[in-house]
Amino acid sequence: MDPVCGMTVAVEGSPSFTYKDQTLHFCCPGCRARFEADPAAYV
């Protein structure tokens, strides 16, 4: 599940980011960028 918008995300081919040893997957590069800018707001 995308931690920014809450959409269900297919792992294969989705943008991802590793935060505190956990790989998170996002619905689009925009959600990934929002997460990268302020991870604490989404965890």
pLDDT category of residue 12 using cuts at 50, 70 and 90 = very high
The pTM of this model reads 0.89
Give the mean pLDDT of 25-41. Answer: 98
Cβ-proximal residues to 42 (8 Å cutoff; 6+ apart), any chain: 3, 4, 34, 35
pLDDT category of residue 17 using cuts at 50, 70 and 90 = very high
pLDDT category of residue 3 using cuts at 50, 70 and 90 = very high
C-alpha 24: how far from its chain's center? Answer: 5
Beta strands of the chain (E only): which ranges? 16-19, 22-25
List beta partners, residue 19: 22
Residue pair 26/2 in contact (Cβ under 8 Å)? The answer is yes
